[in-house]
Amino acid sequence: MSLQSEISRRKTFAVIAHPDAGKTTLTEKLLLFGGAIQTAGAVKSNKIKKGTVSDFMEIERQRGISVSTSVMGFEYRDLQINILDTPGHEDFAEDTYRTLTAVDSAIVVVDVANGVEKQTEKLTKVCRMRHTPIIFFVNKMDREGKDPFDLLDEIEQKLEVKVKPLSWPIGMGQRFKGVYDLYQKSLILFNPHGTHNEGDLIVFEDLSDPDLERYIGDTAAKELRSEVEMVETVYPSFTQEDYEQGNICPVFFGSAVNNFGVKEMLDCFVEIAPPPLSRPTEERIVDPKEEKFSGFIFKIFANMDPRHRDRIAFLRVCSGKFERNKNYRHIRLGRDMKFPNPTAFMASRKTLLEEAYPGDVIGLYDSGNFKIGDSLTEGEILHFKGLPAFSPEQFRYVENADPLKQKQFAKGLDQLMDEGVAQMFTRQSDGRRIIGTVGALQFEVIQHRLESEYSAKCRYEPVSLYKATWVHAENAADLKEFLDRRKRDIAKDKDGNWVFLAETAWVLQTVQEAFPKIEFRFTSE
């Protein structure tokens, strides 16, 4: 198969949502349709200790939340579908932001009862900044929730997007009868206790057909007709171009836990979602159809398999064809490397692959050579853009709690920081290590993973800090003067960059005014 046809076969997207909206459940149902798994794990059930397929970290199974992005690939209707299931919890937003640089579209899950929640707002905003095409899936229709029209208004107002329903619910909660698929012009009936299959779908071109009453009853039929008429009048017509440019977002309704309404969305998604898109670098725009391979690392994960202590770098292929055992240039290190064991993912299950194409996400075994944002090419110097590290908001001193395990402690901390779980700053005045995170839960994850994966223990001590900002100056003398005068508040990050540690908002503002030639950066790319 030619490079061009391999590229057009691929759809790479992220599933994003606020915690508990049903994101991981939806991901599993998509995998069921793709034949990638036979039975879904019970996401929240403590009785079934399987856990979901995409949550493979011990702490994820204990807490019932996704802590890390996982990657899953499967074939569906002759297409290669790559799903990146992201953490919903806001404490792990940074991992999700980085993941969004590696996808071409997104599915946003909204809980019908809770509507648009804080994390949904933040993540959708990142998609809009990147003009990433979005599909909304309104979940849990078998429960009571907000009126569909009110919910669509809320999505439009809070997320500043234009929506177009491509399916419409028939009732809700106890009265939920199914959905009418406006895209395929068909009726799908809901069976609360059964499984849903092709037989539940009834082609229904014309809603004025009196047969409708036979399927859903008089009241529901009357409601559906008037609501669909309103949908067709109020919302703009759907065009592929508007969707691809991020100007209009299709909306589907269903119940992921009951496997209902998911297939209709998936069938529409594979038709309309864009194939791999171009990627910006500092030097130029990289087109996926280019013959020569290029790609970037957007995530690093240590100990995916605790028995083997392996460390995997996740690479998004941006152009050309990646081949096993071929030499590629590591741009930051300036040396050639080859990879004998590149892997394709099905959550924590990995399979060896011989080649990969634009849109694919592959795992490279890493012995400490990679950092997030690194580029691999066939020799051309390219630096892919848009993989930010955010200024942390919570800080603690970190100390080794077991002197006999100093080596394990240092290695564990080092590898977890490389993953981007948190950021570490070394204070220049006393050499003490400070961990900075976006949310408090990350401290727990670090402690848990140090113990379970590295047999090391850490303890935290409070430190009173407001913000850590990277500092930069055009003139080296200006920077030196600043570093000398604020010695007590200066640290270095893991990569040796200078960082200013501000104790309060007032201190930060005062210092910014006192040193106008110093640039204070709140993100580091």
Parallel, antiparallel or unpaired: strands 163-165 and 249-253: parallel
Q: Are residues 182 and 239 in the same domain?
A: yes
**Looking at per-residue confidence, does 194 or 510 come out higher?**
510
- Residues shown for the chain: 525
Q: Is residue 77 part of a domain?
A: no
Please tell me the distance from the alpha carbon of residue 448 to that of residue 442, in angstroms, as a whole number: 10
Residue 22 has pLDDT above 70, yes or no: yes
Mean per-residue pLDDT, 67-86: 76
Closest C-alpha among 202, 152, 156, 160 to residue 177: 202
Q: What separation, in Å, do the N-terminal and C-terminal C-alpha atoms of the chain show?
A: 37
* C-beta separation of 207 from 224 below 8 A: yes
- State which H helix or E strand residue 504 sits in: none
Asked if residue 97 is part of any domain, the answer here is: no
Residue 82 in any domain: the answer is no
Split at pLDDT 50, 70, 90, the class of 313 is confident
Percent of the chain topping pLDDT 70: 85
- Final residue of a domain: which of 377, 407, 437? 377
Examine the domain organization and report whether 173 and 35 are in the same domain. Answer: yes
Tally of structural domains, the chain: 3
Tell me the pLDDT tens digit for each residue of 430-441. 889 999 887 777
**Is there a single domain that holds both residue 361 and residue 416?**
no
- To which residue do tokens 């092709």 refer? 198
Domain limits at 508?
A: 389-524
- Please check the confidence at residue 511 and state whether its pLDDT lies above 90: yes
CATH number at residue 147: 3.40.50.300
Rounded to whole angstroms, how far apart are CA atoms 408 and 451? 10
Q: Tell me what pLDDT residue 51 has.
A: 42
How confident is the model over 139-182, as pLDDT tens digits? Answer: 999 899 999 999 999 999 999 999 999 999 999 988 888 888 88
pLDDT score, position 482 = 93
- Residue that terminates a domain, selected from 272, 304, 328: 272
Residue after which a domain boundary falls, among 377, 398, 425: 377
Query: Rounded to two decimals, what is the model's pTM?
Result: 0.76
In this prediction, residue 367 has a pLDDT band, given cuts at 50, 70 and 90, of: confident
The answer as to whether 127 is a domain residue is yes
Does residue 349 share a domain with residue 460?
no
Within a domain: 133? yes
**At 468, which CATH number?**
3.30.70.3280
Q: Are residues 143 and 36 in the same domain?
A: yes
3-state SS of 379-410 is CCCCCECCCCEECCCEEEEEEECCHHHHHHHH
Considering the domain architecture, whether residues 265 and 290 belong to the same structural domain is answered as no
Which pLDDT value is given to residue 67? 38
* pLDDT at res. 188: 84
325: pLDDT strictly greater than 60:
yes
pLDDT of 252 above 90: yes
Give the list of residues 6+ apart from residue 55 with CB closer than 8 angstroms, or none. 24, 43, 61, 65, 66, 67, 70
